[in-house]
Structure 1
Amino acid sequence: MPNYYCEYCGTKSSGIAGLTANSCHRHPDGKGKHKLYEGTEKTQYSCKYCGTSSSTISALTGNSCHRHPNGTGKGKHVPVL
């Protein structure tokens, strides 16, 4: 059975509906639902803006990205699909 992850926080779910129905604490707007990460499950996830990598989406997206389009310290890392 495949796992589904939130692109913003890395929360794991066994179903898309269960994932996207719940609120995400790392949503970029401050409030909102989980967003489905549409990439494949990997051993390393890289930020699409700066290339920083981590073994989980949660660890990657928990830190600010110095090359985020909103400016330094104004956005989190975003995993490459």
Structure 2
Amino acid sequence: MSNFYCEYCGTKSSSISNLTANSCSRHPLGSSKGKHKLYEGSEKTKYSCKYCGTSASAISSLTGNSCSRHPNGSGKGKHAPSL
């Protein structure tokens, strides 16, 4: 059985429909102002930020911190997992 993850917060779900039907606490527009976004990469032992290369063992750990090289500016966005 596959797991599906939110790109913004790392929430795990057993189905895409359940994942994308719920609000995301780390949505770029603000907490609960948008739905979870499907992470389209594969499950990995380490996830890397596509902007700066920082790595973490879980998407939730990676996306919980600000990225110094985010396109919106330093400290103005969270790390984003690369595919």
TM-score (norm 1): 0.99
Report the counterpart of residue 53 of structure 1 in structure 2.
Answer: 55
Report the counterpart of residue 35 of structure 1 in structure 2.
Answer: 37
2:44 is the alignment partner of 1:21: no
Question: In 2, Cα distance between the equivalents of 1:48 and 1:16?
Answer: 23
Q: Which amino acid aligns with 1:10?
A: G
Superposed CA offset, 1:7-33 (max 9, x none): 000000000000000000000011100
| Shift >2 Å, 4+ stretches | none
SS of residue in 2 equivalent to 1:58: helix
Q: Work out the percentage of aligned pairs sharing the same amino acid.
A: 80
Report the counterpart of residue 65 of structure 2 in structure 1.
Answer: 63
| RMSD of equivalent CA atoms | 0.2
